[in-house]
Amino acid sequence: MASTAAPLGGIRQRSKTGWSPRRLVGLEFKRGVATWLIPLALIPLWFIIRQDFTTPVSLWVETSVTIRTALDYLGPVFGGAAAWVAAREHRRGAGELLETTPLPAPRRWVATWAGTALAALLTGLVVAVPLMTLTASRATWGGPEWWPIIVGLSAMVAHTAVGFAFGAWFPSRFTAPVMTVLLFLGEVYVGEFAGNGATILTLVSRLDNLIGEGRYLSPVAETSEDLAYGIWPAVGMWQTMWLLGGSVVMLALVALRTRRSAGAFLALIAGLTVSLGGATEIVQRTPGSLYFFTAFANHTRAATPATFVPTCQGDPVTVCLHPAYGAWMDEVVTRSDRVLAPIAGRPGAPVAITQLDPTPRYTPVDIVSPEGTVPFYLWSGNAGVDEAMRDIARCSIQSCYDERQFALPEEAQLAQEVVVTWLLIQAGEVDELTDDYGLYFQYSGEPLTPYLDRFAALSPAERGLWFDRYLTDLLAGRLTLADLP
């Protein structure tokens, strides 16, 4: 008897070590199907770099939300992978055999899920780390907005938990693809379509309105990427609670499938408390938010925008930009000088041009600028400076972003349009501008092109004399098409 005790003890010890949860997580991560999905991260990474990093300007708020969105849309794929892993025992008929292993079934289930969740998190980091590194090397103001990134990673974990729970409770070879589709459609419907009136469930109006109130329960719901106010609505912490608490609920339900233990019940109660607490805060902090702007307006009333000191440069016209757009300063100064050169220094001409809130989601009706200062918008996209030149030319001749721009007679506005178009064309800002403002701009059925051609045919000296005499009247709206040379 004594001769057999030691070997049995050794076997028992080796079994306990071999079936440790940590080792099982490692094995599942190395050999599980989700590991093969990690290269999928390279697809959104390539598209994002190709689209969002083609200009010298990088904004932390935009990068943070872009990372969140990419991870959210990768999540359903890993949810389907988790469902496939959970149904594996059923497909292979190994359920009864695995029940005899030394590791308790609930711990084995959780360890198996953790391997898939670890692969999902690693995929999220493959997306997030390069994008944050690129932004850090290029951004000239601010810092990372962490909550969108945390929400994206939490969403990936939540997707795997939901997929794993359904795979465990409803094991089938069809569970994985069905869960992938349902998770994708669910997050998109709740976050993008619910409450907007154009949904796949318009016939079920009560359900549509109910979900529309809490669209931020979906991690893909629209958020503002505002330099002044950051990420709005500021529900990132509550979304994380909702997603991670829900993950615990799903895993507790998996554990209860095989063993109704006190620990599983406690985990279920704790997960429900955290998840429902986060959901309640989301709904309460976005009251009646059937539309994004309502929620954002509610938040901005209680928020203090981030302060900054504009970066100013240029002579004779000073250009002031938000410091986050400093990489574009030289280009804006050079191109705006060309646009404004024919009128610079004359009475009524601008002496400064100032960038407005670069990423507004909640803008006052009227923007009153100091005398001699022209407001303009500048975006971070590829057409940002091109559109800014249009703003600068137009707002140098016409009133912009306030009610005065609608107060002039139509004839006066058309005369101003001709001069605005000429300023852009003479500066070489011709991408689509001739078509937009010259060739097809009609008045009483006649194109404005002849007026533009006549103005362009003047010699520089003749135009200079005309601007000296009539620029003030043109800006005040006292000239008509007939008054143009």
Lowest pLDDT segment from 43-57, 121-135, 399-413, 433-447: 433-447
pLDDT of residue 98: 46
Instruction: With a cut of 90, say whether residue 314 has pLDDT above it.
Output: no
Quick one: pLDDT at residue 280? Answer: 86
Kindly give, in sequence order, each residue whose CB lies less than 8 Å from that of residue 87, ignoring residues fewer than 6 positions away.
Answer: 167, 168, 170, 171, 172, 173, 175, 176
- Least confident among 163-172, 275-284, 289-298, 348-357: 289-298
With beta carbons less than 8 A apart as the criterion, state whether 142 and 228 touch: no
**Percent of the chain clearing pLDDT 70 (strictly above):** 74
Q: What's the confidence (pLDDT) of residue 263?
A: 82
pTM: 0.81
Is 484 strand, coil or helix? coil
**Contact call for residues 471 and 347 (beta carbons, < 8 A):** yes
**Region 269-291 average pLDDT:** 79
pLDDT for 120: 93
How many residues in total does the chain contain? 485
The lowest-confidence range among 6-20, 143-157, 273-287, 438-452 is: 6-20
119 touches 38 (CB < 8 A): yes
**Per-residue pLDDT at 361 exceeds 60:** no
Give the residue-averaged pLDDT of 223-232.
80
With tokens 């070489």, the residue in question is 428
Q: What is the mean pLDDT of the chain?
A: 79
The token pair that represents 361 in the structure block: 């989601």
- How far apart CA 268 and CA 245 sit, in angstroms, is 9
| pLDDT on residue 383 | 78
Range scoring the smallest mean pLDDT among 197-206, 225-234, 240-249 = 197-206
